[in-house]
Amino acid sequence: MPAAPHKTFSMLLVDDSTEDRLLFKNSLWHATRLRVVAEAADGREALDYFEGCGKFTDREKFPRPDLLVLDLNMPRVNGFEVLAWLQKRQFNHLTVVLTDSMRAEDIKRALDLGADLFQMKPRRERDRQAMALALEELLVKSSRVDTPEAVSLRS
């Protein structure tokens, strides 16, 4: 079924850096269809969000996200552990790993664990804005496809 022309996409932003979360959120002003519904400072909070427990029990306020933006290197539960947990469950969302690591083994491991995209954290504002617009466009296009297989970014 085609998406409504003005569908808004919910996003869970997971990063232990308060500054990086703020910079990312500030870059969303052109991406009018992306809405951060919650932030998590580590992987444990992200898992609480997906499980709907703790402060995230209200699904009206904290809906299942269309987009997960995930850092890898975090305390308590890291991004790889979040990806592994999600891989065991059938959540339907786009997962983007934003990290400072471009190590080949990190990229491969994240993609093997189900990440759809892996990207270095953009440091310039215009690069963050361009990334936000590209993610919004990808979500708009994927929501207009009728079959789940066509939505997958993995081959």
Instruction: Tell me the pLDDT of the chain averaged across its residues.
Output: 87
- Tokens matching residue 3: 């998406």
Domain presence at residue 4: no
Instruction: Write down the pTM of the prediction.
Output: 0.85
Domain presence at residue 63: yes
| pLDDT band, residue 144 (cuts 50/70/90) | low
Q: Are 44 and 145 in contact (CB under 8 A)?
A: no
Number of folded domains that form the chain: 1
Q: How far apart are the first and last CA of the chain?
A: 23
Phi, psi (deg, nearest 5) at residue 11: -130, 135
Domain presence at residue 154: no
Domain presence at residue 155: no
pLDDT, residue 61, reads: 93
pLDDT tens, position by position, 108-142? 999 999 999 999 999 999 999 999 999 999 999 88
Q: Which CATH number fits the domain that encloses residue 61?
A: 3.40.50.2300
| pLDDT band, residue 143 (cuts 50/70/90) | confident
| pLDDT band, residue 154 (cuts 50/70/90) | very low
Burial class (CB within 10 angstroms; exposed 0-12, middle 13-18, buried 19+) of 67: buried
Q: Is the dihedral of CA 45, 51, 56, 62 positive or negative?
A: positive
- Tokens matching residue 84: 């592994």
Model confidence at 4: pLDDT above 50? no
Average pLDDT (96-116) is 92
DSSP-based three-state secondary structure for 87: helix
Domain presence at residue 15: yes
Phi, psi (deg, nearest 5) at residue 153: -95, -10
Average pLDDT (39-53) is 95
Domain presence at residue 121: yes
Average pLDDT (71-91) is 92
From 67, 113, 60, select the one nearest 88 (Cα to Cα): 113
Model confidence at 11: pLDDT above 80? yes
Domain presence at residue 149: no
- Residue 1 per-residue DSSP state: -
Its domain, for residue 25, covers 9-143
